[in-house]
């Protein structure tokens, strides 16, 4: 595009050409930046949307004539010093890695100092010999002698040899008279004289630093001679710490050498670091880099073991993660072999109180990242060989539940040992041993929990929708409606299954029990029921898949083979690289969750520490009035009305008794106690009177214990519906 302007006489004065149309975008951008910078340097600037300046109409009246720029928040922040400093100078992790590299390099070169000294001496000696040779050749023109030898061999004539000898003497004499030669010889003699004088005056120790320039010159001459002798060879004075030291920090150079050694990169290729390597407080290093074209992160992962070996590390000490693109690789390197030391103490050991709603701090992975389990919505199964920490691992969620006074603990220990005797001090129900009576009590407890679960869901359904948005128990609902979290610990559950299977109709009873447990796990998690079970080797016979498959979290310690590991963690886990076979270390296992599986080291809780935790849990429950059942039986003397009601159940053998049924039994036992129907008293009035008396005396007996025994709808001995009590409710209250 071009235009012209005209004068008043109609002549063309000039032609305007739009040069911007002929420029590339990059050039236009650069010109625009320059123009804006120039505009901002003028007296008032230009008020437009590009420069962001404001021109004052009355510049002379301004306090400071000049350009006033409108700065946004980012520009204001840039005026400080901190945004000017690169982030790498402020990153503590980067400085930790820098220090590690420097210290390792210093230590490496210190140990190699004798080698470096020998190289220096030999190279300097070569330089001295070459220097003397070259100086002699120059001062005495020895090249003429070589020409004379060539002439002699060709038999060109004695006169030519004589001429060459004369020329040599003439040239040598001329060279020795040159100013450069004179200055050099004068400097050398002066330097030697100064050294002698310094040594005689101050001693050889102080004279030695003065020799450094001479040795430096000799080394330079020797280095030059080595280059002349082998032009294609590389001579380095200092060895490469990254190549020679596999115990040092991982750097980009060391990674490049490792990839070359396993033939994933050629000698000409190298990686390109992305940012700087960082090191965390534990000494673990993270290095991000880009690989050359044709090499992707997936290919390095496929050869992870050779790659780790080339780095001088074990496979479990590295972790490879793909970055934004297939060529972006993030390498994590552990400072030490993961899980080579004892696990850290659990934070529950020193916690005064815990809320099960906050999850269970369970352990740490190989990167030192802590794992917190949320067991409220998924039960858990523990398995593995004896003696590898299965019970210790199971103790961690038990400790979290023990420290929550609003969590009601239920225990079924079919091992029958003393592993859980501390928990008996706070447990609402306790079943010890795998005898038939204990297994029957376990089955009854399962039925009671199913009834409790159905009761809770009925309560939740009756709540306003604002209180139960997703039909799940919440802390507020649990407190307001008396529905504490129930944690049911079952140790060696296969022992109970074995007892059931050995019965006459064991197979049918076994199937029913498994179905009830699976139902509890599937539905109970929404109303606050947690089942934590353990089994050594849960095979399809000892612990059926219908039970295992509904448990979402599983943890396995050492097993003898992949098959045993898959029985605990789930089918196919070993093929995906997650197996507990051959772990061989106490306290280390594989955790399988919905999101994936990984190796963990469980937090340490010793039996003595667990005893202290249970003692704190008991004190918390007594203070909160939530110590109930078995654990509370030692606090309550079973006497008075409660003992009489329990005796009524024993006499009748019934599971449910109406208030009138109890009153009749008590009247027979003691007619003078006033439980009988008075003369002229109607059945309704008598029932109301003895019902009120039962409630009043029960409340007095339970006063201060934190427990209640309410009248509920029951089937009386006469077969009609009425208000009364259940044997199971009384047992829960009394704990026996």
Q: Does residue 379 share a domain with residue 494?
A: yes
pLDDT at res. 447: 92
Cβ 583 vs Cβ 589: under 8 Å:
yes
Cβ 393 vs Cβ 413: under 8 Å:
no
CATH number of the domain to which 440 belongs: 3.40.50.300
Q: Does residue 719 share a domain with residue 613?
A: no
pLDDT at res. 426: 92
Q: What is the pairing mode between strands 380-383 and 360-364?
A: unpaired
Tokens standing for residue 153: 């061999």
Sign of the Cα torsion 142, 144, 147, 149 reads: negative
Q: Does residue 597 share a domain with residue 456?
A: yes
φ and ψ at residue 275, rounded to 5 degrees: 75, -165
Does residue 390 belong to any structural domain of this protein?
yes
Does residue 264 belong to any structural domain of this protein?
no
- The DSSP output letter for 541 is T
Q: Does residue 139 share a domain with residue 51?
A: no
Q: Does residue 500 share a domain with residue 388?
A: yes
Does residue 259 belong to any structural domain of this protein?
no
Does residue 262 belong to any structural domain of this protein?
no
pLDDT at res. 539: 66
Residue 28 sits in which domain range? Answer: 2-70
Mean pLDDT of successive 10-residue segments in the chain (736 residues)? Answer: 46 51 65 66 48 44 43 50 60 76 75 81 85 81 76 73 78 80 80 76 68 79 81 71 64 88 91 86 88 92 91 88 91 87 90 94 89 89 89 94 95 88 90 90 92 91 83 87 92 91 88 92 90 80 78 91 87 85 88 89 93 93 86 63 86 91 89 86 89 87 75 89 88 68
pLDDT at res. 105: 75
pLDDT at res. 42: 56
Cβ 603 vs Cβ 345: under 8 Å:
yes
Cβ 361 vs Cβ 401: under 8 Å:
no
Does residue 512 belong to any structural domain of this protein?
yes
Tell the residue number behind the tokens 């439980």, with chain if given. 675
Cβ 414 vs Cβ 433: under 8 Å:
yes
Task: Choose one of 13, 36, 70: the last residue of a domain.
Answer: 70
Cβ 707 vs Cβ 628: under 8 Å:
yes
Smallest Cα–Cα separation from 530: which of 363, 354, 377? Answer: 377
Residue 647: is it exposed, middle or buried by C-beta count within 10 angstroms (0-12/13-18/19+)? middle
Which residues make Cβ contacts (< 8 Å) with residue 383, sequence separation at least 6? Answer: 390, 534, 535, 536, 537, 538, 554, 555, 556, 557, 559, 567, 568
Task: Choose one of 214, 229, 244: the last residue of a domain.
Answer: 229
Q: Does residue 670 share a domain with residue 615?
A: no
Does residue 414 belong to any structural domain of this protein?
yes
Q: Does residue 638 share a domain with residue 606?
A: no
Which residues make Cβ contacts (< 8 Å) with residue 415, sequence separation at least 6? Answer: 434, 491, 492, 495
Q: Does residue 477 share a domain with residue 367?
A: yes
pLDDT at res. 658: 93
Tokens standing for residue 706: 């934190």
**Tally of domains within the chain:** 4
Tokens standing for residue 564: 């045993």
Between CA 449 and CA 249 the distance in angstroms is 57
Does residue 569 belong to any structural domain of this protein?
yes
Q: Does residue 360 share a domain with residue 217?
A: no
Q: Does residue 187 share a domain with residue 43?
A: no
Cβ 390 vs Cβ 383: under 8 Å:
yes
Task: Choose one of 187, 214, 229: the last residue of a domain.
Answer: 229
Between CA 640 and CA 628 the distance in angstroms is 19
Tokens standing for residue 171: 């040239």
Q: Does residue 141 share a domain with residue 52?
A: no
What 3-state DSSP class applies to 37? helix
Q: Does residue 127 share a domain with residue 38?
A: no
End-to-end CA distance of the chain: 103
Does residue 173 belong to any structural domain of this protein?
yes
Which residues make Cβ contacts (< 8 Å) with residue 632, sequence separation at least 6? Answer: 705, 706, 707, 735
pLDDT at res. 71: 46
Between CA 695 and CA 221 the distance in angstroms is 110
């Amino acid at each position: 595009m071009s235009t012209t302007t005209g004068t008043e006489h109609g002549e063309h004065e000039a032609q305007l050409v739009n040069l911007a149309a002929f420029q590339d975008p990059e050039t236009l951008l650069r010109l625009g930046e320059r123009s804006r910078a120039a505009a901002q340097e003028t007296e008032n600037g230009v008020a437009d949307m590009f420069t962001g300046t404001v021109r004052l109409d009355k510049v002379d009246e301004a306090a400071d004539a000049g350009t006033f720029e409108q700065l946004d928040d980012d520009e204001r922040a840039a005026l400080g010093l901190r945004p000017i400093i690169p982030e790498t100078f402020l990153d503590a992790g980067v400085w930790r890695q820098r220090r590690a590299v420097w210290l390792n390099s210093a230590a490496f070169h210190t140990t190699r100092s004798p080698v470096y000294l020998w190289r220096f001496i030999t190279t300097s000696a070569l330089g001295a010999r070459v220097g003397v040779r070259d100086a002699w050749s120059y001062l005495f023109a020895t090249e003429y002698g070589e020409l004379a030898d060539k002439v002699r061999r060709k038999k060109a004539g004695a006169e030519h040899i004589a001429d060459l000898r004369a020329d040599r003497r003439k040239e040598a004499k001329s060279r020795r008279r040159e100013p450069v030669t004179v200055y050099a010889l004068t400097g050398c003699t002066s330097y030697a004289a100064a050294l002698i004088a310094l040594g005689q005056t101050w001693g050889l120790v102080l004279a030695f630093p003065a020799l450094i320039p001479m040795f430096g010159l000799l080394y330079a001459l020797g280095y030059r001679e080595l280059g002349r002798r082998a032009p294609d060879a590389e001579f380095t004075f200092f060895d490469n710490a990254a190549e020679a030291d596999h115990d040092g920090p991982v750097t980009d150079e060391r990674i490049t050498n490792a990839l070359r050694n396993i033939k994933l990169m050629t000698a000409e290729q190298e990686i390109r670091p992305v940012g700087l390597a960082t090191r965390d407080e534990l000494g673990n290093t993270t290095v991000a880099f880009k690989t050359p074209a044709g090499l992707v992160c997936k290919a390095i992962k496929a050869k992870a073991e050779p790659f780790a070996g080339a780095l001088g590390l074990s496979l479990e000490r590295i972790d490879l993660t793909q970055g934004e693109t297939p060529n972006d690789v993030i390498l994590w390197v552990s400072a030490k072999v993961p899980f080579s030391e004892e696990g850290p103490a659990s934070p529950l050991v020193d916690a005064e109180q815990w809320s099960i709603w906050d999850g269970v701090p369970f352990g740490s992975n190989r990167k030192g990242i802590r794992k917190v389990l949320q067991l409220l919505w998924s039960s858990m199964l523990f398995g593995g060989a004896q003696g590898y920490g299965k019970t210790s691992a199971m103790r961690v969620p038990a400790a979290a539940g023990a420290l929550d006074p609003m969590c009601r603990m239920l225990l079924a220990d079919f091992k029958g040992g003393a592993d859980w005797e501390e928990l008996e001090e706070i447990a609402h129900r306790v079943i010890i041993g795998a005898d038939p009576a204990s297994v029957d009590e376990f089955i009854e407890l399962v039925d009671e929990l199913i009834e409790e679960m159905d009761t809770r869901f009925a309560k939740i359904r009756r709540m306003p929708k604002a209180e139960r948005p997703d039909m799940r128990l919440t802390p507020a609902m649990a407190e307001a409606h008396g529905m504490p979290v129930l944690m049911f610990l079952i140790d060696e559950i296969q022992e109970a299954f074995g007892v059931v299977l050995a019965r006459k109709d064991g197979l049918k009873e076994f199937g029913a029990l498994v179905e009830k447990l699976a139902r509890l796990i599937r539905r109970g998690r929404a109303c606050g029921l947690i089942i934590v079970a353990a089994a050594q080797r849960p095979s399809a016979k000892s612990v059926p898949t219908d039970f295992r498959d509904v448990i979402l979290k599983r943890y396995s310690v050492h097993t003898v083979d992949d098959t045993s590991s898959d029985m605990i963690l789930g089918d196919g886990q070993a093929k995906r690289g997650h197996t507990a076979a051959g772990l061989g270390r106490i306290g280390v296992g594989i955790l399988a969750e919905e999101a994936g599986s990984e190796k963990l080291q469980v937090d340490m809780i010793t039996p003595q520490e667990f005893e202290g935790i249970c003692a704190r849990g008991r004190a918390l429950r007594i203070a909160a009035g939530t110590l109930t059942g078995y654990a509370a039986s030692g606090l309550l003397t079973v006497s008075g009305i409660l003992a009489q009601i329990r005796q009524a159940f024993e006499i009748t053998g019934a599971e449910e008794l109406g208030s009138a049924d109890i009153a009749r039994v008590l009247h027979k036992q003691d007619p003078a106690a006033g439980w009988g129907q008075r003369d002229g008293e109607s059945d309704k009035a008598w029932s109301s009177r003895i019902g009120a008396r039962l409630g009043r005396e029960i409340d007095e007996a339970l006063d201060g214990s934190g427990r209640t025994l309410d009248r509920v709808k029951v089937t009386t001995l006469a077969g009609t519906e009425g208000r009364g009590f259940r044997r199971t409710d009384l047992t829960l209250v009394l704990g026996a």
